[in-house]
Amino acid sequence: MRRSVIIGTGSALPVNRVTNAQLAERGIDTTHEWIVERTGITARHFAGDGETTASLATEAARKALDAAGVPVDKIGLIVLATATPDQTFPASATRVQTALGINDCIAFDLAAVCTGFLYALSVADNMLKGGMADHALVIGAETFSRLLDWEDRTTCVLFGDGAGALVLQAQESEDRGVLATRLHADGRHNDLLFVDGGVSTTGTIGKLRMKGREVFRHAVINLADVLNEVLSASGHQASEVDWVVPHQANKRILDATAKKLGLDPNRVVVTVDQHANTSAASVPLALDTAVRDGRIKRGDLLVLEAMGGGFTWGAAVVRY
């Protein structure tokens, strides 16, 4: 069976690291203790001059390619998940393509906010299975700091910037690679998590708006449901999972979801404390962190999951 196997991972964070205390020093009405108690976040990274979604994506992609040992001319597909592209068009994926020195490959952006990476992984997986390419770069990259309302202390402390990437290779395998993916969306909940601007409405970028309590409630229910769904589709049980690599939105959501499914919290990769919510970048960032520090090893059964604005949500089962 032709499957999409992860052969390399990489990530990138902006140089500027900002702690909770530094946010308070900027005049935001918050404290380190308040943020940690409600979210588990201690720091995040903000893009500076010259750092963009595409530049962070390119850095993460280069690291993933190095880890995979794959030359750039082998890449036939780039899918970049982002809600914060460098330009309205063309796609930031084409900027990454050019920066990497690839003259011709399929390259496009995909927008599903925090679930974007799961959507991108599923799309790339199906394109590789269909024979449209043999190697793909799947990237999640964001500069959410440029959407934040610094007067809204309930949201501006939650987000950060960054990028994560992986290289997929099509291989003949029975039980290695992407085993199953499941994706969902329900647009009725638009007003719970959205940006109040856009090209065809206000003509402005807009600012992020969120009703945190309602988002929390939906996240725990939807994530538990889709995790059960994707495990069933892959023919595996929760007890067989070596690592859960979740969207890094809020430590309380991670804990509540693990408890609802009966998962060992020690088997959940948590990096939200160090880089906050990086939207589409958070799952590949967490994956790369756990691969590089040795927690995730070849042969491990992984579950990746995320939920974001839309609402969108999804999950994947992967044999690493």
For residue 41 the two structure tokens come to 């976040």
- Smallest CA-to-CA distance from 276 within 169, 200, 162, 133 is with 162
283 contacts 118 by C-beta, under 8 angstroms: yes
Q: What is the pLDDT of residue 163?
A: 98
Strands (E), 154-279: 161-172, 177-185, 193-195, 208-210, 243-246
Spatial separation of the C-alpha atoms in residues 233 and 117, rounded to whole Å: 19
In this structure, how many other beta carbons lie within 10 angstroms of the beta carbon of residue 145? Answer: 21
Spatial separation of the C-alpha atoms in residues 77 and 86, rounded to whole Å: 19
Q: What is the pLDDT of residue 259?
A: 86
The helix (H) or strand (E) run that includes residue 106 is strand 106-110
Q: How far is the CA of 45 from the CAs of 6, 64, 169, 180, 279, in angstroms?
A: 26, 20, 31, 32, 13
SS3 61: helix
Amino acid, single-letter form, for residue 37: E
Q: What is the pLDDT of residue 275?
A: 96
Catalytic residue (one of 20, 222, 250, 277) = 277
The helix (H) or strand (E) run that includes residue 287 is helix 282-292
202 burial level (CB within 10 Å; 0-12, 13-18, 19+)? exposed
What are the 10-residue block averages of pLDDT along the chain, 320 residues in total? 97 98 95 95 97 98 98 98 98 98 97 98 98 98 97 96 98 95 97 96 97 92 95 96 95 87 90 97 98 98 96 98
279 contacts 306 by C-beta, under 8 angstroms: no
311 burial level (CB within 10 Å; 0-12, 13-18, 19+)? buried
Q: What is the pLDDT of residue 45?
A: 98
Spatial separation of the C-alpha atoms in residues 23 and 16, rounded to whole Å: 13
Token match 């969120």: residue? 210
pLDDT in tens, 231-279: 999 999 999 999 999 999 999 889 888 888 888 889 999 999 999 999 9
Phi, psi of 201 (to 5 degrees): -115, -70
The DSSP call for residue 179 is: E
Catalytic residue (one of 105, 114, 236, 275) = 114
Token match 């899918």: residue? 79
What is the model's pTM?
A: 0.97
For residue 11 the two structure tokens come to 């990530």
Q: What do you get for the CA distance between the two ends of the chain, in Å?
A: 16
- Active site includes 277? yes
- Active site includes 16? no
- Active site includes 126? no
pLDDT in tens, 9-20: 999 999 999 999
Largest alpha-carbon pair distance within the chain? Answer: 57
pLDDT in tens, 27-44: 999 999 999 999 999 999
